[in-house]
């Protein structure tokens, strides 16, 4: 059985790390490179960087800060934000990222998933899914980096994750929007439905508030990893202590 991954998420806005609640009211929490180095030293398994307004401003991620991260840390990291072409993906991977993630661009043109997989391989391609509960059904949202431009699509989340898998993506990150930043725990029911629908790795995102929430999502779903932001940025949960706790709960954790 593979180790469960602990993944700090760094939302990037104007080249600074920010954090919001339910994808709104973002505040600056630190410098990209300094936080990346901190989490690498703390024992994070991976890092994920989301340039949260790249899609809405119709531009891609800047390879400059990606290159700085690659020179600073020695753990895998994934970069997302407005990647709409092979050329943009190549620039990010060539700058040192291990994976690229697409979200709104995949909804705009699903064939992009196929093209990225064919060019770079399945292991490099992650698709993010921003999912919200609407009238007792989970639906996919788009352009969530800017609350004024966020769109609720007509796509069912479960239908979309199945399509993502069929197009060859190597991993899915499910962002449960109603849980984002509120620290009430991961959406176990939703994540269980997603992991039961696909056979590729699924990463849980949205809702971590205490260490027991990580235990619950690993015990009650088959997610491959848990992503969190504010509990790590604030120092409320230290990664070494979290890993020790999860090992004590009999989870397979890389230390």
Q: Catalytic residues, which ones?
A: 11, 130
Is the pTM value of this prediction over 0.85?
yes
Average pLDDT over residues 209-227: 98
Compute the distance between CA of residue 224 and CA of residue 202 in angstroms, rounded to an integer. 6
Separation CA 10–CA 233 (nearest Å): 9
Provide DSSP, 191-240: HHHHHTT-SS-EEEES---SHHHHHHHHHHS--SEEEESHHHHTSSS-HH
Q: What does the alpha-carbon distance between residue 198 and residue 235 come to, in Å, rounded to a whole number?
A: 34
Q: What is the pLDDT of residue 76?
A: 97
Residue pLDDT, tens place only, 78-126: 999 889 999 999 999 999 999 999 999 999 999 999 999 999 999 999 9
Mean pLDDT of the chain: 90
When pLDDT is averaged across residues 153-178 and rounded to a whole number, the result is 94
d(CA 81, CA 104): 9
What's the CA gap between 240 and 43, in Å, rounded? Answer: 7
Least confident span in 62-66, 71-75, 119-123, 213-217: 62-66
């Amino acid at each position: 059985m593979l180790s469960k991954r602990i993944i700090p998420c760094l939302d990037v806005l104007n080249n600074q790390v920010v954090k919001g609640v339910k994808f709104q009211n973002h505040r600056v929490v630190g410098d990209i490179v300094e936080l990346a180095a901190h989490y690498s030293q703390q024992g994070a398994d991976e890092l994920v960087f989301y340039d949260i307004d790249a899609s809405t401003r119709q531009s891609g991620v800047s390879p400059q800060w990606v290159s700085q991260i690659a020179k600073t840390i020695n753990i895998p990291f994934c970069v997302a934000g407005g990647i709409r072409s092979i050329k943009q993906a190549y620039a990010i991977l060539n700058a040192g990222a291990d994976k690229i993630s697409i979200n709104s661009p995949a909804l705009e043109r699903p064939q992009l998933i196929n093209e990225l997989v064919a060019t770079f391989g399945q292991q490099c391609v992650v698709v993010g899914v921003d999912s919200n509960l609407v009238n007792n059904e989970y639906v996919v949202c788009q352009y969530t980096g800017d609350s004024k431009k966020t769109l609720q699509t007509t796509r069912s989340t479960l239908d979309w994750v199945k399509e993502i898998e069929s197009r060859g993506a190597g991993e899915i990150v499910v962002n449960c929007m109603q849980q984002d930043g509120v620290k009430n725990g991961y959406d176990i029911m939703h994540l269980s439905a997603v992991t039961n629908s696909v056979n590729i790795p699924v990463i849980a995102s949205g809702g971590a508030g205490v260490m027991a929430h990580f235990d619950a999502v690993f015990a009650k779903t088959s997610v491959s990893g848990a992503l969190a932001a504010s509990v790590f940025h604030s120092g409320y949960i230290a990664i070494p202590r979290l890993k020790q706790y999860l090992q004590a709960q009999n989870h397979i954790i890389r230390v």
